[in-house]
Amino acid sequence: MSASRQHIDTLILPRWLIPVAPSGAVLEGHALAVDGGRILAVLPAAEAGERFTARETIELPRQALIPGLINAHTHAAMNLMRGLADDLPLMQWLQEHIWPAEGRFVSEGFCADGVQLATAEMLRGGTTCFNDMYFFPDVTAATTARIGMRAAIGMILIDFPTPWASTTEEYLAKGQQVRDAYRDHPLISTNFAPHAPYTVSDEPLRAVRTRADEMDLRVHMHVHETAFEVEQAEQNDGRRPLARLADLGLVTPNLLAVHMTQLTDAEIADCARAGVHVLHSPESNLKLASGLCPVAKLLDAGVNVALGTDGAASNNDLDMIGEMRTAALIGKLAAGDAAALPAATVLQMATLNGARALGLDADTGSLEPGKWADCTAIDLDTPETRPLYDPVAQIVYSSDRRQVTDTWVAGKRLLRDRQLTTIDLDDTLARVDHWQTLLRT
């Protein structure tokens, strides 16, 4: 009998298996079969016993297994600036605090240590993939690949000199080097990341548009974050930033527009027609009092909306479970409709929609055969999450990131029973202490 069974790497047997796609069903008594880092099958546990023998069988009798969460917008290394400048509006926060600190302290070492802290936080919170926009993207990519997490790395661009590059040509050339170094890497992908309409002028944006079209790469950018941004653009340029981006040929299915708190109904329809993806960061929008993204309207119009935390200096955490709860609650308020953004929709925003935005949905974002085994186990057998009528509602509305017990990326268990397997936490925190002492001066 066993001779006819296929020998595979891993069988995971959770109490609830929530694949997100092809259907939003919650499966009980099912198994996830993993081999070579990829999902081989999602099938009834009894059938799994008949079809497979596994090198490792992992029983998770208290847990729900979901696709790994995808943090679709962050600045990972900014974890070292968590709490550095709070309770300020965006432009004062950036101009008076964050940009001066970045000019003084951001370096290869800062980014390596900041990314190590951020990946530790994300893996402990069930996130398996993040989309990053920050200086030294080469360091972010190398650190993330060493740890074994998945990331989309932004080839950043901004009109002023920074510790990473000085001129448009240098930003683009150094970005291209990162792209070349990680071409075909199983964990690292790249995109263009011009900072925002108010910090990148037309010529560099034309260069991005040409290259993004040629390479079919995403363009990740903060857009319509605040009313001030839109008003300033109207005064200075006579157009709203989105209209300027459209004139530059950037409003396409490759645009990943972050924030989008200021949108007319006509702009929502334009985004839907153009296939723009919106990366929603509700907690950063709340903390900086930037505005409300009309998520329900965007979803109703057919826009793909994914979820991200933004950086830890404006959130102040990289907690995607908390972000789901906030997105659901604020989404209902913004829509004036308690039925808007139900839990299953928000879970999809934090998983499959993120993968779609990043162009990674053939590889991750749901628990389907052929995709990488990027998944997260959440203990729902706790006083805080009982009684349990609906596991998806319980994850979004009642659970906490500390209930995440295990996280896998490409079949590798990076968090095992709450212990990180590829990150030395003591070393990470010692490095954080060093930066805290420096930044405090």
Ligand X SMILES: CSC[C@H]1O[C@@H](n2cnc3c(O)ncnc32)[C@H](O)[C@@H]1O
Interface with Zn ion by CB under 5 A: which residues? 310
d(CA 364, CA 188): 13
Q: Which is nearer to Zn ion, 96 or 203 (CB)?
A: 96
Least CB distance to ligand X at residue 154 (A) = 8
CB 355 within 8 A of CB 365: yes
d(CA 129, CA 335): 29
Q: Which residues pair with 189 in a beta bridge?
A: 152
Six-digit token string for 252: 């396409």
CB 262 within 8 A of CB 231: no
Query: In angstroms, how far is CA 232 from the centroid of its own chain?
Result: 29
Query: In angstroms, how far is CA 67 from the centroid of its own chain?
Result: 13
CB 77 within 8 A of CB 140: yes
d(CA 334, CA 244): 26
Q: In 3D, which of 256, 257, 248 has the Cα closest to residue 218?
A: 256
Annotated binding site: 73, 75, 102, 195, 222, 225, 310
Under the rule (CB under 6 A), what is the footprint of ligand X? 75, 90, 94, 98, 102, 133-135, 156, 158, 195-196, 222, 225, 284, 310-311, 314
Least CB distance to Zn ion at residue 290 (A) = 11
Around Cβ 291, how many Cβ atoms within 10 Å? 21
E strands, 93-234, are: 127-132, 150-157, 188-194, 219-223
Least CB distance to ligand X at residue 86 (A) = 13
Least CB distance to ligand X at residue 134 (A) = 5
Q: Which is nearer to ligand X, 284 or 399 (CB)?
A: 284
Look at residue 260 and give the partner it binds from Zn ion, ligand X, none, a contact being a CB closer than 5 to 8 Å depending on partner kind: none
Least CB distance to Zn ion at residue 155 (A) = 16
Look at residue 314 and give the partner it binds from ligand X, Zn ion, none, a contact being a CB closer than 5 to 8 Å depending on partner kind: ligand X
| H helix or E strand, kind and range, residue 101 | helix 99-105
Q: Which is nearer to Zn ion, 113 or 310 (CB)?
A: 310
Collapse the DSSP code of 181 into the 3-class scheme (helix H, G, I; strand E, B; otherwise coil) and give the result: helix
Q: Which is nearer to Zn ion, 267 or 310 (CB)?
A: 310
d(CA 366, CA 61): 21
Q: Which residues pair with 379 in a beta bridge?
A: 63
Q: Which is nearer to ligand X, 212 or 378 (CB)?
A: 212
Cβ-proximal residue to Zn ion, closest one: 310
Look at residue 102 and give the partner it binds from Zn ion, ligand X, none, a contact being a CB closer than 5 to 8 Å depending on partner kind: ligand X
Least CB distance to ligand X at residue 222 (A) = 5
Q: Which is nearer to ligand X, 132 or 374 (CB)?
A: 132
Look at residue 134 and give the partner it binds from ligand X, Zn ion, none, a contact being a CB closer than 5 to 8 Å depending on partner kind: ligand X
Write down the residue that tokens 């925002």 correspond to: 196
Q: Per residue in 334-347, is it b (16+ CB within 10 Å) or e — as a string? A: bbeeeebbebbbbb
Collapse the DSSP code of 166 into the 3-class scheme (helix H, G, I; strand E, B; otherwise coil) and give the result: coil
Annotated binding site for substrate: 102, 195, 225, 310
Q: In 3D, which of 360, 269, 268 has the Cα closest to residue 72?
A: 360
Look at residue 156 and give the partner it binds from Zn ion, ligand X, none, a contact being a CB closer than 5 to 8 Å depending on partner kind: ligand X
Least CB distance to ligand X at residue 139 (A) = 13
Q: Per residue in 26-40, is it b (16+ CB within 10 Å) or e — as a string? A: bbeebbbbbbebbbb
Annotated binding site for Zn(2+): 73, 75, 222, 310
Q: Which is nearer to ligand X, 75 or 280 (CB)?
A: 75
Least CB distance to Zn ion at residue 7 (A) = 45
Q: Which is nearer to ligand X, 52 or 134 (CB)?
A: 134
Look at residue 225 and give the partner it binds from ligand X, Zn ion, none, a contact being a CB closer than 5 to 8 Å depending on partner kind: ligand X
